[in-house]
Structure 1
Amino acid sequence: MKLSERGPGGMGRPAGVWTEIKSLQVPGARLHYEVRGAGPLLLMIAGAPADAGALAGPAACLADRYTVVTYDQRGLSRSTLTTTPTDQDVTVFSQDASLLLAALGDEPAFVLGNSGGALTALDLAVRHPEQVRALVVHEPPVPEVLPDREQWRAVFQDVHDTYREHGAAAAMGKFIATVDGPDSPPPAMPDPSQMPAEALEMMGRIQGNLDHFLAHVLLPVLRFEPDIAALRSGPVPVTVGVGEASGNGVPVLAARVLAEKLGTEPLAFPGDHQGLALNAATSAEIIHAAFA
């Protein structure tokens, strides 16, 4: 365990938020997690190939009202595997989340899931509803709920095959098109000289995650289909968020379909699929209001 002071602030986050860095042994992996603030427990789950750093902004902004826990999902960044890498599906990730919550105490937690982390959160709410007080999922990429899911299965298979034949860079170009939408312009690349050290560190970790993500996470995770009936009838309130500037990629399309199936209206967040990181302060207030 160690303490670090993350700062100065950036992208709307407050400066000088103390972070307690810890780890938890789970079957087959050792999870890296970070604890900030005080108050009711809030677990925030980032999606692959990103890690806890992707949610550092909103986590810091919410640390004055919650005990905020972020973590790297197994096989990513600092959450190292202790067995030979194999395909990882959502049930494995949600079991890790359940074990982490159990290690943090007995109280149910508020849970935020972003992107692929939203799939972990949805499965957690079904399998362990006693551990979840309320749930917000931001743009969950669930192609299995879309009417053209067979087409999307073929698209993601092509991403995987491209990785096998041509490497991670070529595959990620195709993958990003499924997130932003086929008609969206290529994402603008940030100027590294203008980025804080924390963001540069995270980008380096994400680059190191790409092989594991494309080989063992992409296909099994995107075959996940949430238990809509259990979510509708269960005790956990579920709010589905969409970015106001998102295009027509899988995450926003699936989020709208999921909200409709759950009988709720989508909650608007600023920005696009990366909106939680790039609009941290505003997103934090929307998350807090949804939980409140």
Structure 2
Amino acid sequence: MATAAATTRTLDVPGATLHYRVEGSGPVLLLSQSGEGDADRTVDLVPHLTDRFTVVTYDRRGLSRSTLDSPTRPVTMADHADDVARLLAEVTDEPALMAGFSMGAAIGLQVVARHPGVLGALVAHEPVMPNLLPDADRDDHIAELTAIRTAYADGGLAAAFPAIARHLGIDPAHEDTEADLTPQPMTPRRQANFGHFIGTEFPAVTSDTLHPDEPLRAAALAGTRIIPATGRTTPPQVHTYRCALALAARMDTRPVEFPGGHNGNTAFPRATARVLKDVLG
């Protein structure tokens, strides 16, 4: 089947201008990235999905080409959820599919709660959502994120990267990947994205008050499928892995296992595409 040519667009939303990309054909599938990831982060994943889906990728507000009207104004998880709802309204009038990874998964759960019916299904891969955890573990998760912010403030990315790797259970020196991946160098733009992610979006996560039952109640009423997911090689002590387990436990189900660890969608794009096609059928 021929797929539609890729188009790059912008969308004005309250407080920001969003940059996004649309390609492929079929049901709309929004990919929402982890960390500092922008629309370019899934350059290796998207081509393996466009035969089945109309794939939408975007830069979250404040990242890369999605500019903020007021850079000093705090960004909230509600802002991100509202951005997704407005973006999807631009590309479809049907409930969309969404695959969210880490930060993107937490945003997806916000969308389900704040905008019932916008999503037909959400794959929530290791959401960074401390409120999913019991109180003591929640406090540990928040303390870990706060420690990364402190390391970044004291020593920049060089100090923050080891803390981030420990937080996500990643060993950069021994990380397996598929072959022939597109290089993702640490460009000045990516460095700036890390700064925005750590300095602005960490507080959005740690101060968020969404109760984890809210998206589950909204999903039940709207008929939205929530699919908790974990990385096959993510260490079980990683907080985001435990968030996915906690979400699955609240739903009385088991998480879907994806290839690789926390960043498996970029390390194993072909295998990730196969699992997404299977679970989103």
Q: Could you say which TM-score interval applies, normalised by the shorter chain?
A: 0.7 to 0.9
1:191-230 aligned within 5 A? 199-200=183-184, 205-224=189-208, 226-230=210-214
Alignment partner for residue 141 of structure 2, among 140, 145, 152?
A: 152
Mapped partners of 1:154, 1:82: distance in 2: 30
Comparing 277-286 with 264-273, which one deviates more in the overlay? 277-286
Structure 1 residues not aligned, in runs of 5+: 1-15
Counterpart of 1:63?
50
Partners of 2:199 and 2:231 lie apart in 1 by 28
The CA distance in 1 between the partners of 2:46 and 2:103, in whole Å, is 18
* CA deviation after TM superposition for structure 1 residue 111, in Å: 0.9
Is the contact made by 1:231 and 1:262 (CA closer than 8 Å) also made in structure 2?
no
Aligned counterpart in structure 2 of residue 232 of structure 1, from 210, 213, 216: 216
SS of equivalent residue, structure 1 residue 136 = strand
SS in 2 for 1:42: strand
What does residue 128 of structure 1 align with?
Answer: 115
The superposition leaves residues 88-123 of structure 1 with CA deviations (integer Å, 9 ceiling, x where unpaired) of 221110110011011113111011111101111111
Question: Secondary structure of 2:44's partner?
Answer: helix
RMSD of aligned residue pairs (Cα, Å): 2.3
Deviation at 1:279, TM superposition (A): 1.4
Residue number among 71, 79, 82 corresponding to 2:69 in the alignment: 82
Matched, 1:265 2:254: yes
Asked whether the 8 Å contact 1:53–1:199 carries over to 2, the reply is no
TM-score, length-scaled by structure 1: 0.84
Count of residue pairs the alignment pairs up? 269
- 1:175-186 aligned within 5 A: 175-180=164-169, 186=171
Residues 187-206 of structure 1 show CA distances to partners (whole Å, capped at 9, x for unaligned) of 1289xxx976x533675532
Does residue 18 of structure 2 align to residue 31 of structure 1?
yes
Cα pair 1:29 1:74 within 8 Å, conserved: yes
Q: Deviations for 1:61-101, whole angstroms, at most 9, x for unmatched residues?
A: 11001111010100011211122333222111011001101
| Cα distance between partner residues in 2 of 1:63 and 1:243 | 23
Structure 1 partner of 2:241:
252
In the alignment, structure 1 residue 174 sits paired with structure 2 residue 163: yes
Q: In 1, distance between residues paired with 2:86 and 2:186?
A: 25
Post-superposition CA distance 1:14-69 (Å, at most 9, x none): xx994211111111111111111011111111123111222233322110011110
User: What does the per-residue CA deviation read over 1:238-263, in whole Å, with 9 as the maximum and x for residues that have no partner?
Assistant: 00111111113121111111111122
In structure 2, the residue corresponding to 1:130 is in which secondary structure?
Answer: coil
Please report how far the alpha carbon of residue 162 of structure 1 lies from its aligned counterpart in structure 2 after TM superposition.
2.2
The one-letter code sitting in structure 1 at the alignment partner of 2:147 is D
Calculate percent identity across the aligned residue pairs.
Answer: 32
